[in-house]
Amino acid sequence: MTLLLSLVSAFFLFISSSLCHPLDPLTPQEIHTVQLSIQTSHSSSSPNITFHYVDVDEPEKHHVLKWSSSNRHHAPFPTRRAKAVVRVGGKTHELIVDLITGSIVSDQVYKGYGYPPFTFEEFFKAIRLSLKHPSFQNSILRRGLDLSEVSCLPLTVGWFGEAAKRRVVKVTCFYRNGTSNIWARPIQGISLLVDVEENRVLSYSDRPREPLPKAEGTDFQRQRPSPVSCSGNNNKITITGNSVKWASWEFHVAFNARAGHIISTASVFGRRVLYRGHVSETFVPYMDPTQEWYDRTFMDVGEFGFGRSASSLVPGMDCPAGAVYLDGHMAGTDGSAQMVPRAICIFELYTGNVAWRHTEVGVPGKVITSGEAEVNLVVRMVATVGNYDYILDWEFKKSGSIKVGVSLTGVLEMKATKYRNSEEIRRDIMYGNLVAENLVGNYHDHFITYYLDMDIDGEANSVVKSELRRKRTKAGERSRRKSYWTAVKETVKREGKGRFEVGSKAVDIYITNPNMKTKIGNEVSYRLISGKAAVSLLADDDYPQRRAAYTKYQVWVTRYNRSERWAGGFYADRSRGDDGLAVWSRRNLGIVNTDLVVWYTLGFHHTPIQEDFPVMPTLYDYFELRPANFFDSNPLLQS
Amino acid sequence: MTLLLSLVSAFFLFISSSLCHPLDPLTPQEIHTVQLSIQTSHSSSSPNITFHYVDVDEPEKHHVLKWSSSNRHHAPFPTRRAKAVVRVGGKTHELIVDLITGSIVSDQVYKGYGYPPFTFEEFFKAIRLSLKHPSFQNSILRRGLDLSEVSCLPLTVGWFGEAAKRRVVKVTCFYRNGTSNIWARPIQGISLLVDVEENRVLSYSDRPREPLPKAEGTDFQRQRPSPVSCSGNNNKITITGNSVKWASWEFHVAFNARAGHIISTASVFGRRVLYRGHVSETFVPYMDPTQEWYDRTFMDVGEFGFGRSASSLVPGMDCPAGAVYLDGHMAGTDGSAQMVPRAICIFELYTGNVAWRHTEVGVPGKVITSGEAEVNLVVRMVATVGNYDYILDWEFKKSGSIKVGVSLTGVLEMKATKYRNSEEIRRDIMYGNLVAENLVGNYHDHFITYYLDMDIDGEANSVVKSELRRKRTKAGERSRRKSYWTAVKETVKREGKGRFEVGSKAVDIYITNPNMKTKIGNEVSYRLISGKAAVSLLADDDYPQRRAAYTKYQVWVTRYNRSERWAGGFYADRSRGDDGLAVWSRRNLGIVNTDLVVWYTLGFHHTPIQEDFPVMPTLYDYFELRPANFFDSNPLLQS
């Protein structure tokens, strides 16, 4: 639920001849082609077609690689097709559209569990229906509130064992009271269940139990740019279409309605590192089992989409002066092309640190200080999913590292309470902390899971687990030491062993290419440097956990499969956990010297505090893919 | 072992009337006073007095607090004394000198285990003795090497159960071969044990077993500043003497020969947070139990000193344009004042991120994006201890957070080997990885332990452990959820329970002031956000681990005691582990609502790779002290 009002129809702005990479996102013209083809073929059966997913039908990886490794003029450009998921007459259709001819290549009805993502229009319709609902209007009047000051939010409802037969949202409302902070005054007790396809309120409940929080001083409207004027040498960033060259890096960046931004075919010094990387799913379960909160177990990417939630970036505030911006295009509810201006920014960043340094005093008569200030390239987007804002960074280092960072900010999802002071709370279980008078910030988690199709010097890769283990010295070693540690390396054979916890043991994870050696015979590899430890604490048999079972480990490795990109399954809304990473991993395929995908989850357990009110200071975590015997020596000295 | 050659005698540059804070470091004049007093009192007994520690004798905390909380003109300035540790006639003297009168207040001989830190001159003398040693010269000639191309390094020898009766170093040498990288060609097999007080070589060994590595392409001499011109509004940083004001922060920064830089009396919005914070000790054990390497178990801060190792910062490379620099002063071997130019830099940093943001689409007819670019204040120094460079940052955020970061870079400590290619290695145990032809980068750790005397709104603090625990919903709750987590909070009663692992469980640690509440009744506190999990893997009964027993936990909490600042004990050289954090913690004192010290260790297990050669790309980790119900709401909106 984001920049609807700033979305601009942008038909015919580009023509398909401007394509320069097989993984380029759909152009507005191509989106239009998809819309026309599907409308033409289905309008006779139903006038109401809603478009839930329109994307490039990802070409076969070997076609893309053949094209990109060739001289770019000789190898054939892979077939350009679109994949669309639409709802027609209460059914989910999966279509493939040929973008050259405009013809429908295939059209199948999906019959499994779960629904495709909601669209903006569906959310807005649910809000309009709620605001017009007579019982709702009565409740608002009864509370002495002004209807024109009410904002509502449709929430996905998860799955809790029922036989889900409708696409529904639960609408919950807030009182703005003249402010621009809609979140600070939840109108506790009111909720409406809305069928977004039948356009009707299925049920209404009003259990007024808690006062409306006064919530004073909640406005925070302002934009404060950096007082530091930071101008990178942006002329060094070469952007051709969606292809980016900077320092020794080359990669492709695409805006995507579901994933947000996607990095593809990333190579450093002409050597392949990452075929594709993007956010695969998020899981945000709230820790309040009561009637109005138990079902807040969001999977934002699959239920709505990070790209759809993209904020137009604010120059100087979201990205520094001198940043380059890319617009994003996606299909609206009716299939027409919509634009998000400045959806992605790309900028050079002086991190404030050094990339390397050394002061040497051991050469007689000299003090030699050498080093280099660290300047990275950042590719950023911001997804604002209702109250929360996620700042999503891909940071490329001249050292060959890729640092993937997420910052959490925005506004807490809060609950009204009768308590005005923590000291009044005696026996009540709060499921959160009092963050302001009459407002509880409920406990919750954020799990942001990344899809990382690693191709270290080619597709055939392995994963090596290096465990640091204590050894005791033996009498024969005649050492005065009693112990030391050594790295015990083991190639992980199967998917079932390719699941790792973070932080509990001294274990390093390497993605290696067993067919490639450095000049001195080390296997080329990248090391995964993990972030903070945080896995889901929910019980395995709990419904939300069954749907997001992949959050039990922070690292998974699976064999590459073109159809497996969404850790929570493609049809995440009301899913039952029968698709997704945890299921795929159970096949236990071999993962030695083959095409691999690494899945990494950045996790945050959030126990809200007063500082998070009315808007939260950024909370950051990252992981890093760092070359380890990938180069023959420090690549920073080669640039 | 650092900038000796750039050290400048700087007597009489300042006079003591320039003092403006009781924790100001000793001025050159004051250092001179200490030197004169001690020389006068001891020169009759021995002409050779060496100065190993000369520092402010830390005034009583309550005196400092009384002074700093008063109008600064009314409360008395605490008594100004110096503490010195000198060696005279083979004995360690601890002296207190009155800086006003120049008289010696006390003079005691230390009779416990362990020795004070080495001095520069002692290290250089050991090198000179080695280079002149006839057997050594013979060995070099026999190898066909040119003596003028040899650089030597004195290493501390640790303690392995022997009855240590001398202050010794073990000298190991390298062949520069015309390059400025002294580390790449270890002359394996040669070592000399040197008594630094008797000025003689105690033993010499030459076991030529490994070839001299060719080590081509090892030079990396250059300084590359940031191509990004970043000019902060440095006029916003107000520095008076050693006191710094920036945004809502006020603190004191001091250069210190042992700790490096010390942050004192830090307060935000006029409220106290941190009384003193600094690096307390480091522990760098190598994981090679063989004869020449087993004793490399360095405690750099106690054995030598991070301030003594300070590099003069290079403007534009080490710190951005516009940074403000402070020089450092310390006592040399003979007690005279020496200066490190540009020992500390202070600068505003635009981090590239936002401090907070939100895009709101829920207000009818509007899209409102608010936020603020993140600009922090960084206080930095660099300690170069032989081959390694540590970049040590204190970063202050407008949100009230203090982020403490360490970057590791510099050159690996390496070992010669006959192997030129990893594939040749079959049955040999290597204790490291081949990083270049004939060069092994040995496995090792870096533990950097911080002393954090927290004073959250006053001295009387507690530590609250908040464990996130899974709960199963009960039948009575009539919830469709089966589980959730909640925060189970517990005040840590005694030091014995004030030891925490990082990453193994979902535990948050808060330092609270149980006597202070926010307006809505929450206990004011700061949360410790830990870095990556890494504790020492050595056996508890191993000698180096006995000396650095505090590295078994990353977080410790003890009751404040003025004399307890050095986690590995004050006399770290050849210490036996009978002093230091692990010993103090065993007292098991109560730590509820009293003055507390938190100890945090940033740990790195380092398995070297080829990219670390010839100089290592920066490896970074940090921890953060983040306000948690310290403020009534987000303080970023108040500035």
Task: Please tell me the predicted confidence (pLDDT) of residue A486.
Answer: 97
Which residue among B225, B287, B617 places its CB closest to the CB of A399?
Answer: B617
Pairwise CA distance, residues A51 & A155, whole Å: 19
Tokens standing for A199? Answer: 């356009």
Average the pLDDT over B44-73 and give the result. 88
Q: How far is B75 from chain A (nearest CA, A)?
A: 35
Q: How high does pLDDT run on average in chain B?
A: 93
- Domain identity same for A570 and A475: yes
Among residues A388, A450, A451, A550, the one annotated as catalytic is: A388
- Domain identity same for A140 and A94: no
- Domain identity same for A184 and A304: no
Task: Please tell me the predicted confidence (pLDDT) of residue A3.
Answer: 38
Pairwise CA distance, residues A414 & A288, whole Å: 11
Residue A500 reports pLDDT greater than 70: yes
Which chain A residues are closer than 8 Å to B635 by Cβ?
611
Among residues B388, B390, B450, B550, the one annotated as catalytic is: B388
Determine whether B209 is exposed, middle or buried from the number of CB atoms within 10 Å of its CB (0-12, 13-18, 19+): exposed
Average the pLDDT over B167-190 and give the result. 94
| Residue B354 belongs to a domain | no
| Residue B156 belongs to a domain | no
Q: What are phi and psi of B321, to 5 degrees?
A: -55, 140
DSSP letter string, B521-573: SPEEEEEEE--------S-TTSHHHHHTGGGG-SEEEEE--TT---TT-S--B
Task: Please tell me the predicted confidence (pLDDT) of residue A228.
Answer: 60
- Domain identity same for A193 and A276: no
Q: How confident is the model at residue A528 (pLDDT cuts 50, 70, 90)?
A: very high
Task: Please tell me the predicted confidence (pLDDT) of residue A236.
Answer: 86
Chain A residue with Cα closest to B286: A484
pLDDT tens-digit profile of B302-326?
999 999 999 999 999 999 988 999 9
- Domain identity same for A185 and A294: no
| Residue B463 belongs to a domain | yes
Task: Please tell me the predicted confidence (pLDDT) of residue B639.
Answer: 72
Q: Are B100 and B89 in contact (CB under 8 A)?
A: no
Which chain A residues are closer than 8 Å to B153 by Cβ?
362
Compute the Cα dihedral for A134, A139, A144, A147 and give only its sign: negative
Q: How high does pLDDT run on average in chain A?
A: 93
Average the pLDDT over A43-52 and give the result. 84
CB contact under 8 A, B483 and A637: no
Query: Which distant-in-sequence residues (6+ apart) come within 8 Å of A410 by Cβ?
Result: A384, A387, A388, A389, A615, A616, B357, B358
The ipTM of this complex is: 0.94
Which chain A residues are closer than 8 Å to B407 by Cβ?
353-354
| Residue B610 belongs to a domain | yes
Which residue among B161, B226, B541 places its CB closest to the CB of A375?
Answer: B226
Average the pLDDT over A371-378 and give the result. 95
Rounded to 10 deg, the angle between the A120-132 and A134-142 helix axes is 60
CATH (domain of A134): 3.10.450.40
Q: How far is CA A560 from CA A43, A452, A500, A592, in A?
A: 37, 10, 18, 12
Q: How confident is the model at residue B233 (pLDDT cuts 50, 70, 90)?
A: low
pLDDT tens-digit profile of A598-616?
999 999 999 999 999 999 9
pLDDT tens-digit profile of B424-482?
998 888 999 999 999 999 999 999 999 999 999 999 999 999 999 999 998 777 899 99
Q: How confident is the model at residue A280 (pLDDT cuts 50, 70, 90)?
A: very high
Active site residue A542: no
Least confident of A11-25, A32-46, A356-370, B509-523: A11-25
Interface size, chain A vs chain B, as Cβ–Cβ contacts under 8 Å = 500
| Residue A483 belongs to a domain | yes
pLDDT tens-digit profile of B6-38?
333 333 333 334 568 999 999 999 999 999 999
pLDDT tens-digit profile of A336-368?
999 999 999 999 999 999 999 999 999 998 999
- Domain identity same for A417 and A455: yes
Domain ends where: A86, A110, A134?
Answer: A110
Q: How far is B98 from chain A (nearest CA, A)?
A: 36
Which residue among B353, B466, B605 places its CB closest to the CB of A391?
Answer: B353
- Domain identity same for A265 and A133: no
Which residue among B362, B517, B617 places its CB closest to the CB of A182?
Answer: B362
CB contact under 8 A, B360 and A180: yes
- Domain identity same for A91 and A147: no
Pairwise CA distance, residues B339 & B331, whole Å: 9
Residue B230 reports pLDDT greater than 70: no
CB contact under 8 A, B371 and A223: yes
Q: Are B181 and B614 in contact (CB under 8 A)?
A: yes
Q: How confident is the model at residue B575 (pLDDT cuts 50, 70, 90)?
A: very high
| Residue A363 belongs to a domain | no
Q: How confident is the model at residue B273 (pLDDT cuts 50, 70, 90)?
A: very high
Residue A115 reports pLDDT greater than 80: yes
- Domain identity same for A153 and A261: no
Task: Please tell me the predicted confidence (pLDDT) of residue B149.
Answer: 96
Q: How far is B242 from chain A (nearest CA, A)?
A: 23
CB contact under 8 A, B352 and A349: yes
Average the pLDDT over A406-423 and give the result. 96
Provide the percentage of residues in chain B whose pLDDT is more than 90: 85
| Residue A518 belongs to a domain | yes
Q: How confident is the model at residue B208 (pLDDT cuts 50, 70, 90)?
A: confident
Which residue among A443, A485, A521 places its CB closest to the CB of B537?
Answer: A485
Which residue has 């889900």 as its token pair? Answer: A164
pLDDT tens-digit profile of B506-533?
999 999 999 999 999 999 999 999 999 9
- Domain identity same for A515 and A610: yes
Provide the percentage of residues in chain B whose pLDDT is more than 70: 95
Chain A residue with Cα closest to B525: A609
Task: Please tell me the predicted confidence (pLDDT) of residue A232.
Answer: 53
Domain ends where: A168, A191, A206?
Answer: A206
Provide the percentage of residues in chain A whose pLDDT is more than 90: 85
Domain ends where: A169, A189, A206?
Answer: A206
pLDDT tens-digit profile of B381-438?
999 999 999 999 999 999 999 999 999 999 999 999 999 999 999 888 899 999 999 9
User: What's the domain count of chain A?
Assistant: 3
- Domain identity same for A105 and A125: no
| Residue A225 belongs to a domain | no
Q: How confident is the model at residue B76 (pLDDT cuts 50, 70, 90)?
A: confident
CB contact under 8 A, B357 and A409: yes
Q: Residue A160: which domain range? A: 120-206
Task: Please tell me the predicted confidence (pLDDT) of residue A629.
Answer: 98
Active site residue B573: no
- What type of residue is A267? S
pLDDT tens-digit profile of A214-247?
888 888 888 887 766 555 555 589 999 999 999 9
CATH (domain of A286): 2.70.98.20
Task: Please tell me the predicted confidence (pLDDT) of residue B235.
Answer: 58
Interface with B, mutate which of A177, A183, A226, A268 (most B CBs under 10 A): A226
Q: Are B501 and B599 in contact (CB under 8 A)?
A: no
Q: How far is A247 from chain B (nearest CA, A)?
A: 13
Residue A14 reports pLDDT greater than 80: no
Q: How confident is the model at residue B209 (pLDDT cuts 50, 70, 90)?
A: confident
CB contact under 8 A, A228 and B227: no
Q: How confident is the model at residue A4 (pLDDT cuts 50, 70, 90)?
A: very low
- Domain identity same for A170 and A283: no
